[in-house]
Amino acid sequence: MRAFLLSTVVATLAAGCAPTVRVEIAPSPAYALPTNAVAVVARDRECREVADALVQNLNALPGFEVDPRSEVRLDVSACGQFFQWDLVREIDASNRSERRSVTLDGRAHAVVAVSAYGAVQAHLIGSGHHLNRGGWRDAPIRDTIERTRSAQRYLVDAVAIDLATQLSPVPQLVQRRLYPNANPDTARDLYNQAVLAEVSGDIDEALRLARAAHDERPSPRAASYLSELERRRNLGIPSH
């Protein structure tokens, strides 16, 4: 089945389409919940957005139900986001012009205390990473503000997805987009190879290739994919 899927993907790439492949991620919950009906509570104002996003992701899982009356609680606390801006400046000596490129590196985290029937059973840490490399431009303040806001929204979802995955008792089906006609040894080609390795079940090879793709050309998609593979390898979550 895997060989057929791989050959189909290669043929589609050669045809110049924009294919997607589906990958089933086996469940490996960090904590086995005693019931799939849970209450989600934000312990402070800074965690409301993460808690809301966690509710949406849990409700999307088959069999899961978020019920405020449940005696199994997920208390979300210690939420935080951190951003680092790196400015690269180049001077053209011939006409003394200057161009700038600004890269945004954002990270976020949250802690969930899992309580069952009045007793804390476990603590989970959700994390997210967002890397956005800007093009060569003057880097106006307005653009910087918009990129920060976009990164903030992305990180909220990334942390919620990470936490939901750690709690999910069922397999998850994700879609990966492949790049058609990618030139050999480019970032897109390395990304395609990483996805194909993931489809075949070789997480270590997928991680190696995803890291190479990110190093070749950092992007939000490459950073997100790399972070997901790293977390799955650390938790020992395979692909089917």
Domain ranges of the chain: 27-170
Q: What is the C-alpha separation between 208 and 229, in angstroms, rounded?
A: 10
- pTM score over 0.75: no
Three-class SS state of 29 = coil
Residue 25 confidence (pLDDT): 76
**Amino acid of residue 156:** V
Residue 13 confidence (pLDDT): 46
**Where does the pLDDT of residue 8 fall: very low under 50, low under 70, confident under 90, or very high at 90 and above?**
very low
Q: Which fold has domain 27-170?
A: Double Stranded RNA Binding Domain (3.30.160)
Cβ atoms of 229 and 204 within 8 Å: the answer is: no
Residue 117 has pLDDT above 50, yes or no: yes
**What average pLDDT does the structure give for the chain?**
83
Higher pLDDT: 138 or 204? It is 204
Span 100-113, average pLDDT: 90
pLDDT > 70 in the chain, percent: 85
Three-class SS state of 102 = strand
Residue 202 has pLDDT above 80, yes or no: yes
**Where does the pLDDT of residue 29 fall: very low under 50, low under 70, confident under 90, or very high at 90 and above?**
confident
Inter-axis angle of helices 220-235 and 187-200, to 10 degrees? Answer: 30
* Ranges 28-32, 181-185, 206-210: which has the least confidence: 28-32
**Where does the pLDDT of residue 17 fall: very low under 50, low under 70, confident under 90, or very high at 90 and above?**
low
Cβ atoms of 63 and 33 within 8 Å: the answer is: no
Q: What is the C-alpha separation between 159 and 231, in angstroms, rounded?
A: 12
**Where does the pLDDT of residue 6 fall: very low under 50, low under 70, confident under 90, or very high at 90 and above?**
very low
E strands along the chain, which residues?
20-25, 37-42, 65-66, 72-92, 97-116, 119-133, 172-177
Residue 9 confidence (pLDDT): 45
